[in-house]
Structure 1
């Protein structure tokens, strides 16, 4: 299966040693919040831990859940600067997901919230254990999966969210953790 045209993979964006050091720092230095959320009036437990960091004044929600905006940490700012310099793009926010083991996952979705604009460009950094990133076309039966190793930067080109869904499926064989950082540019301020 060939990689879909709207995805680009940069292997070893961070080398193995640096990736492990960043993973451990994020794992132990992040203040991970309670992972409960409300949808349609019912409370659920998010199957992963999550924090949202953004420039001042940036707000973001998905599934009608407004995320608590936290300031950039020095580590997240350093990672953002390296990615921005490499891609010659700017980002004003990052969603940090911690998958504690293979039970933690994210279901099929597209990062197509109105705040991200019509054609969001997303840079996704994987740290920790390798996990598959699955994708499937919204209209055809085309699908695929990429095994993302620690230190890999996955680029989701602007058309990807329009045409594809993606997920990090449950992996019962994985017992170690993974942290994923998805850098985004919020273009419309959410005033909820």
Structure 2
């Protein structure tokens, strides 16, 4: 792969009441397939239980939390494992591309078309008033859906293999986001959301 042939500048995506930017391929020293294979093998994957409307449910995906601080959402507390050398390299690449610093990463493995992520905002207090979240994807493309909390507005984005999506500004305040199940058979998708825990 010729890194010098890749456009490494993030492209803004117009979004009312929020800020999105997109990079089709994050420059990496390995192929996307190699990174995904290593992440699948090296990650301590877990099937966590969360609380939704007072009821406990198994998450419809596998996840893992790495970084410097614990993180709590939906009644689930995640204690961090230390960054691996591979995750450290990915974090550096994401920081170079975005100009933002991150101290933690949540990995989600969507094993097939039946795995999903419910609509939510990453607005926990430890993320600060205007969270900056960088979403790096590998494997099968999935449709990322954003829905405005107060207006009838929906945005759909295809998160493709090797792509980076940056959410910042007031995005988490005004928008929900998620990934739906599909009826079309899909291979695995692996997503890393880098964030800074205060």
Please report the TM-score for the alignment, with normalisation by the length of structure 2. Answer: 0.86
- Structure 1 residues 68-77 or 31-40, which shifts more? 31-40
Distance 1:162 1:42 in 2: 25
Aligned twin of 2:100: 89
Gaps of 5+ in 1: 188-192
Aligned twin of 1:28: 41
**CA separation of 1:117 and 1:19: change in aligned 2, threshold 3 A:** same
Report if aligned partners of 1:3, 1:144 keep a CA contact under 8 Å in 2: no
Report if aligned partners of 1:52, 1:95 keep a CA contact under 8 Å in 2: yes
Deviation per residue, 1:120-167 (Å, 9 max, x gap): 000000100000000011100011100111000001012110110001
Indicate the SS of the match to 1:179: strand
Report if aligned partners of 2:20, 2:166 keep a CA contact under 8 Å in 1: yes
Matched positions, count:
183
Please provide the CA RMSD for this pair.
1.7
State which of 39, 43, 56 in structure 2 corresponds to 1:43.
56
What is the CA distance between 1:14 and its match in structure 2? 4.2
Question: 4+ runs of 1 displaced by more than 6 Å?
Answer: none
Gaps of 5+ in 2: 1-12
Please report the TM-score for the alignment, with normalisation by the length of structure 1. Answer: 0.89
Bigger RCO (CA 8 Å, 6+ sep): 1
